[in-house]
Amino acid sequence: MTPLDYEFLRKLLKERSGLDLSSDKQYLVESRLIPLARRAGLPGIAELVAKIKGGSDALTSEVVEAMTTNETFFFRDKIPFDHLRETVLPELLTARAGRRALRIWSAASATGQEPYSIAMCLKEMGAALAGWRVEIIATDLSLGVLEKAKAGIFSQFEVQRGLPIQMLVKYFTQTGELWQINPDIRAMVQHRQLNLLQDFSHLGTFDVIFCRNVLIYFDQETKAGIFERLAKVLEPDGVLALGAAESVVGISDAFKPYPERRGLYRPNPAKAVRAGGGALSALKVVASAR
Ligand SMILES: C[S@@+](CC[C@H](N)C(=O)[O-])C[C@H]1O[C@@H](n2cnc3c(N)ncnc32)[C@H](O)[C@@H]1O
């Protein structure tokens, strides 16, 4: 690949998905895009770049999708899901007892293991959530992973990663070599395409946001912008969960670490700005959290 073609692709990927490739990732781009070029009947990357420059939107989307990393597994890192079960949901159950509604967003849901893990946590709460309106919105940039997530069908390998055997037996049905998550769990999750670089205020506000293992691919400025916008769609007493290698510290003051709960954050009351509203004083935020 020529340095010029690499620069073109780097810029394109940064603009379209936020992916921030360093100057030495040619091998990664080649390993993912040469097969794509061949499938499109093109000899190599030079022709792929030429076709994109010629204005092929479909090919551009395919390139962006091919460069996303969709690695995920059930109950990934375990700790955030333990916190969800043991701290976050019990607290929200009390705080939302009046409205009996919960909204949870899995903001880079990949093939669905994350939102379905959340759905299983909620299901495990049994009668405590009877009569509640619970929404889990799962979004991702990639249509390919969303299709798989919607189907809820996983290989033996996928269900062996992170999923306790009791949950496999309880919430999945085996068909041949594959396992499909049961309809009641599938129905708890709504899947939608969404690019985190674009406005997401139309999704409304959430009590919990899982935005894990996606910001790690973005540069500091992009991360900071997304944190600001996430804070606007999170309830003042809501919780943001990040990936094990991610943090807001040193990037944004829109969130504060949740005390003694590694990987969890709360909106910073001093910085709170609600979606569609102006800046709130810390006092007002505390009042609305009651
Ligand atoms: C590594 S997976 C993380 C999946 C899951 N959150 C987890 O932690 O296991 C990252 C996902 O982010 C998605 N993604 C990448 N860029 C995105 C963007 N700009 N907007 C929304 N999703 C994006 C990818 O398609 C991919 O499915």
Q: What is the pLDDT of residue 275?
A: 57
Q: What is the pLDDT of residue 290?
A: 34
pLDDT at 161 over 50: yes
CA distances from 10 to 3, 195, 242, 269 (A): 10, 18, 25, 37
CB 185 within 8 Å of CB 120: yes
Mean pLDDT of 86-113: 97
Q: Which of the listed residues 84, 140, 150, 222 should we mutate to test ligand 1's pocket, taking the one with most ligand atoms within 8 A of CB?
A: 140
Mean pLDDT of 70-86: 96
Mean pLDDT of 49-64: 94
Where on the phi/psi map is residue 88: left (φ > 0), alpha (ψ -120 to 50), or beta? Answer: alpha
pLDDT, one tens digit per residue, over 164-218 is: 999 999 999 999 999 999 999 999 999 999 999 999 999 999 999 999 999 999 9
Report the nearest-CA residue for atom 27 of ligand 1. 110
Q: What is the pLDDT of residue 284?
A: 39
- Under the banding of pLDDT at 50, 70 and 90, the label for residue 59 is very high
Pocket lining: 84 vs ligand 1, CB cutoff 6 Å: no
- Ligand 1 closest atom vs CA 18: 19
pLDDT, one tens digit per residue, over 12-32 is: 999 999 999 999 999 999 999
Which one is predicted more confidently, 104 or 285? 104
Q: How much distance in Å is there from the Cα of 110 to the middle of ligand 1?
A: 6
Listed in sequence order, the residues at least 6 apart from 64 whose beta carbon sits closer than 8 Å to its beta carbon are 12, 13, 16, 17, 141
* 205-236 residues labelled b (16+ CB within 10 A) or e (exposed): bbbbbbbbbbbebbeeebbbebbebbbbbbbb
* 74-106 residues labelled b (16+ CB within 10 A) or e (exposed): bbbbeebbebbeeebbeebeebbeeeeebbbbb
- Under the banding of pLDDT at 50, 70 and 90, the label for residue 105 is very high
